[in-house]
Amino acid sequence: MSEHAAMRLMIKHTPLKRLLGMQPKKARAIRDRLEAIAANPRAKNSNLKPLAGVPNGFRLRLGDWRASFTLDAQAGVMEVFEIEPRGGAYK
Give the Å distances, CA to CA, from 4 to 22, 30, 32.
Answer: 31, 21, 18
Amino acid at residue number 6: A
Domain extent listing, the chain: 8-88
DSSP state of 88: G
Tens digits of residue pLDDT in 33-81: 999 999 998 888 878 999 999 999 999 999 999 999 999 989 999 999 9
Tens digits of residue pLDDT in 2-23: 445 789 999 999 999 999 999 9
Statement: the pTM of the whole predicted model exceeds 0.85: yes
* 69, 58 Cβ separation under 8 angstroms: yes
| CATH architecture of the domain with range 8-88 | 2-Layer Sandwich (3.30)
**How far apart are the C-alpha atoms of 60 and 49, rounded to whole Å?**
7
